Amino acid sequence: MRRILAWAPLGALAVAAMAPLLLTPYQLTVATYIMLAAIVCTGLVLMTGVAGMVSFGQAAFVGVGAYVTAALSTTFALSPWIGLVAAIASAAVLAALIGLITVRMSGHYLALATLCFCISFYFLVGNAELLGRFNGITGIPPVTVGAIALRSEAAGFALVLGALALVIWWTRRLLASRTGRVLRSLRTGTVIAESFGVDGQRHRLIAFVAAAVTAALSGWLYAHVQRFVNPTPFGVPASIDYLFMTVIGGSGQVWGALLGAALVTTAKQELQGLLQPVFGATTRLDMLVFAALMIVMLHRARRGLWPLLQGLISLHLPAPPIVAGIDLPSGRARPTPGLPVLAASHMRRSFGGLVAVDDVSFDVRAGEILGVLGPNGAGKSTLFNLISGTLPRSSGELSFLGQPLASVGARDMCRRGLARTFQHVKLVPDMSALENVAMGATQRGHCGLAAASLGLDRAEERRLLGWSQHLLARVGLADKAWEAAGSLPLGHQRLVEIARALAADPVLLLLDEPAAGLRANEKTDLARLLLELRADGLAILLVEHDMEFVSELADRLMVMNFGRLIACGQPGEVRANVEVQEAYLGVAA
């Protein structure tokens, strides 16, 4: 079944290639415009749907592609193919420059910045003498392949169809790669990426540039198919249309881009055809009806139409094969059991006047489980965040494997050999459990965007996914590999987080309340797993509320209260400590 479906896109392409024989010239033109929009929307799927960045500037990047090639092929009489290289390079450089300033912005700030870019572009080209002001540039030559000029509607259609197929194929390949997994994690913020050694902001920039390049490709095609350009199709209304198409299709779905482009383009055409004869061309009632339809649709199908369609067909594909049982050898020297992996001295962190962690000193040793206990608000999570590099400390010293750490972030701590889970589970919900685990192994691979685009990452991917499957089996979830992580019960999600942390090949594992939400038998399995990991020489720091669970498991316990360390030692000793009983258990001995 999977093999047959793998050929389905090629079949669809062959059917689409027959369109010039079946469609009228008008229908062919509409189909070409749909595909041009779908190319832009595919980039938006990557940027908005996958990486979670909203842009109102995509039409301007289409304009960059169109105007660069239009100017080069008319004013300088250069080949459209040189125009293609220049269009893509210009969009990439411009997007990188804009992105360096804007992608760090989140939410509406990024949207506003891209909106400003789009408005500026529109007025800039509309007032540039060299670019024909608002009249634009005419007489753009068609693309030529050898001696053949692609002048006819059918030839233009075929050119755009080929480009769309290429863009969809490339985007799908990218999303299934190591880089793609990082991009998919960005929708939930950069915390997951950074915690597993990956530069989240750099990947946001990659998504931004990739979307701009895709838009510029569409612009290049537009200029040589349409043969003239003016600023109108590159303004803010067009950017909003592209966003609409992407969201309606299903913003995280590559095929949704095509569906959304087709629906919005044809819906607008049909509404114009129906309403304008009645109300006149100047009364744009079609826009009002269109907007109302969009609101209803977004209300009914928030995730867009493609997931709805998939649900209706309920296509249950057999899971792709994984080379199971690959055990990637550890790339790190294991510290001698009993020696400190992490040592903290006089750690302090305050928030304004509140001292959340106050003068805390301790160490975690290789081959031991250190439990951290304390009532709510004692400062456990803050301490956890100081160690994992998520929060900077106000004062105090920290060393890892004997190396003093001045001020390091989460990314650096992961690269040094620290991996963590989260108190509130942080998985990419619509990514499979297996891919979530592989996210933890990102820094163990080397293939980037270029290798993925050329298909040179397949062997590495097989190793990373095979190893992730091995780790899933280790936490008892071998049969859940291809289930969406968000659909798993909370207990299983916590285990996926542990497998993901193990995928980073750590020497120190920080677990933030891993037993929360687990049933009794799951807790027993978790305890067995942690003891195995300890026997492997891993150092484990375990923040827990469950006193029974942690006392039975930990070699040593430390108890915090009001930010201070009030006891540290063998579980029996600590439990017998009067201050601990008063603070933690609320009873005096």
Ligand X SMILES: Nc1ncnc2c1ncn2[C@@H]1O[C@H](COP(=O)(O)OP(=O)(O)OP(=O)(O)O)[C@@H](O)[C@H]1O
**Interaction site with ligand X (CB under 6 A):** 351, 354, 356, 374, 376-382
Per-residue tokens: 316: 């249950």
Whichever of 264 and 383 has its CB closer to ligand X, that residue is: 383
Exposed e or buried b per residue across 461-479, where buried means at least 16 C-beta atoms within 10 angstroms of its C-beta:
bebbbbbbbbbbebbbbbe
DSSP 259-285: HHHHHHHHHHHHHHHHHHHHH-SSS-H
Per-residue tokens: 199: 């530069």
| Min CB(381)–ligand X separation in Å | 3
| Min CB(348)–ligand X separation in Å | 12
Whichever of 377 and 476 has its CB closer to ligand X, that residue is: 377
d(CA 266, CA 275): 14
| Min CB(515)–ligand X separation in Å | 13
| Min CB(362)–ligand X separation in Å | 15
Instruction: Name the DSSP class of 406.
Output: S
| Min CB(174)–ligand X separation in Å | 36
**Tokens 């059991």 -> residue:** 337
Whichever of 525 and 582 has its CB closer to ligand X, that residue is: 582
Question: Which residues face 539 on adjacent strands?
Answer: 508
| Min CB(385)–ligand X separation in Å | 8
Per-residue tokens: 104: 């760090």
| Min CB(416)–ligand X separation in Å | 23
Whichever of 381 and 577 has its CB closer to ligand X, that residue is: 381
| Min CB(374)–ligand X separation in Å | 5
| Min CB(570)–ligand X separation in Å | 22
Q: Are 498 and 530 in contact (CB under 8 A)?
A: no
d(CA 90, CA 224): 17
| Min CB(442)–ligand X separation in Å | 27
Distances (CA, A) of 355 to 370, 398, 560: 23, 18, 13
Whichever of 189 and 311 has its CB closer to ligand X, that residue is: 189
Q: Are 31 and 19 in contact (CB under 8 A)?
A: yes
Name 222's Cβ contacts closer than 8 Å, sequence gap at least 6: 36, 62, 65, 66, 229, 233
Whichever of 377 and 429 has its CB closer to ligand X, that residue is: 377
Q: How far apart are the first and last CA of the chain?
A: 67
| Min CB(511)–ligand X separation in Å | 13
Burial of 318 (0-12, 13-18, 19+ CB in 10 A): exposed
Q: Are 203 and 186 in contact (CB under 8 A)?
A: yes
d(CA 169, CA 229): 28
Helix axes 200-226, 58-74, angle to 10 degrees: 50
Whichever of 134 and 562 has its CB closer to ligand X, that residue is: 562
d(CA 432, CA 483): 5
Answer left, alpha or beta for residue 547, where phi above 0 means left and psi between -120 and 50 means alpha: alpha
Whichever of 252 and 379 has its CB closer to ligand X, that residue is: 379
Whichever of 9 and 377 has its CB closer to ligand X, that residue is: 377
Whichever of 259 and 543 has its CB closer to ligand X, that residue is: 543
Whichever of 382 and 469 has its CB closer to ligand X, that residue is: 382
